[in-house]
Amino acid sequence: MKKKNSNIYDPELELAKGATLDASSYDKTQKIMVTVPKVTVGGLPGRAEVSGIAAGRPGAGIDGTMNLWLSIFRFMRPDGTINHVAGWNIPIVLQPGQTAAATAKAFADYINAGTRPYQAAASGGRIEIVFTEK
């Protein structure tokens, strides 16, 4: 059995690690597509684009909602400690007639109000998410 040397810090490798961004729409008329699926420790943002006008939530259940997911991941800091970053499910309830820009802004507002190490910006129907923990 080989002993793993996990105390070697490789900045290029560690800064490339990050959360996988995934998205899903449960709305009949508004969709979301992930265009850059990784939010890295090194500062590369994940991106998604919302399109269409929302039909909205007709009642209870997941219909008329949209979700973003950021996966769990680990990375090593320069001092050799390992940081475990929890995953995050980000749900948005859509209103009838809600625009793509309003949905992207709702995601950004939700992320920015949270205590997780992420920040987001919305521009039109696009949302950009960055990892903010150092």
**What confidence category does residue 7 fall into, taking pLDDT thresholds of 50, 70 and 90?**
low
Per the prediction, the chain carries an average pLDDT of: 93
Residue ranges of domains in the chain: 17-131
Contact 71, 22 (CB under 8 A): yes
Q: Given the DSSP bridges, would you call strands 126-131 and 118-123 parallel, antiparallel or unpaired? A: antiparallel
86-111 pLDDT per residue, tens: 999 999 999 999 999 999 999 999 99
pTM score, two decimals?
Answer: 0.91
